[in-house]
Amino acid sequence: MKSVHLLVALTALTFLLPAVLTTAAFAEESKAVLDTETAKESYLVGLQLGDSIKSLNIEIDTAALSAAIEDVIAERTPALSEEELLATMQSLQGKMQKQQERMQEEMQTQSAENLKKAEAFLETNAKEANVVKTDSGLQYIVVKEGTGETPSASATVRVHYAGTLLDGTEFDSSYKRGAPAEFPVKGVIEGWQEALQLMKVGAQYKLFVPPDLAYGAQPRPGIPGNSLLVFEVELLEILPEQQSLNQSTIIQ
């Protein structure tokens, strides 16, 4: 049975390793001394455990946490009785439920505010001389006209792009990744689908994508609900069928 548990744990670590690696972005460096392979492996497990605990967003007594881990590993009798464990679990679940409800309310409030900001911006932006507005509500500026073909809805394209929120916060950029993105036209948000079928190869457009042509009220990583998205897009190539894809994060 222990071998089965070990296999499950190792599999989980393999899939979640990218999340652990993001800890390299922390400002303060660790003071841990890892001079053996066992120490390194233990540290890896601890990183993943710590990341999971942090994601709960609850107050943690690290001394009590460490004691619990040591008790489990040493197979000691828990410091809390079964009744105390059950009561504590129920209390914690109640706190987490309330926290989740607060977060949901905050997200809904932010989403409503974002929608108002998007509508106000689009109304003003549409009056600019160089801005084109389509029937769907998409707005764009032709930065540079292309001279090649225009992709169909069934085509696969290669593009360079940068995406920002209305306040200028960048959430994605193929330029910063150092490689163009490749994806089927039908595989991206509606605003992109429409825009790509207006562009010719070689064209550069600036897109103003309303929330209902992007992700709507559903938040995405780095993109709050009902966000208006601004993209700088350069259509580089229409790819032959069956060519492998280097997909971007704007896939639906």
> Using one digit for the tens of pLDDT, what is the confidence trace for 132-186?
999 999 999 999 999 999 999 999 999 999 999 999 999 999 999 999 999 999 9
Average pLDDT over residues 17-21: 52
The single-letter code of the amino acid at 8 is V
Residue-number span of the structural domain to which 218 is assigned? 131-239
- Choosing from 183, 215, 223, 250, the catalytic residue is 215
| pLDDT tens sequence across 213-246 | 999 998 988 999 999 999 999 999 999 876 545 5
Does the annotation count 171 as an active-site position? Answer: yes
Q: Which of 9-13, 97-101, 106-110, 192-196 has the lowest mean pLDDT?
A: 9-13
* 124 in any annotated domain: no
**CATH at residue 197:** 3.10.50.40
* 168 in any annotated domain: yes
* 150 in any annotated domain: yes
Query: How far apart are the C-alpha atoms of 234 and 146, rounded to whole Å?
Result: 9
Does the annotation count 26 as an active-site position? Answer: no
Query: How far apart are the C-alpha atoms of 215 and 190, rounded to whole Å?
Result: 9
- Choosing from 121, 141, 171, 212, the catalytic residue is 171
pTM over 0.75: no
Does the annotation count 15 as an active-site position? Answer: no
| pLDDT tens sequence across 22-37 | 544 555 788 889 999 9
Task: Examine the domain organization and report whether 145 and 223 are in the same domain.
Answer: yes
| pLDDT tens sequence across 77-120 | 999 999 999 999 999 999 989 988 998 898 899 999 999 999 99
Instruction: Name 39's Cβ contacts closer than 8 Å, sequence gap at least 6.
Output: 32, 33
Does the annotation count 175 as an active-site position? Answer: no
Query: How far apart are the C-alpha atoms of 94 and 130, rounded to whole Å?
Result: 54
Task: Examine the domain organization and report whether 147 and 231 are in the same domain.
Answer: yes
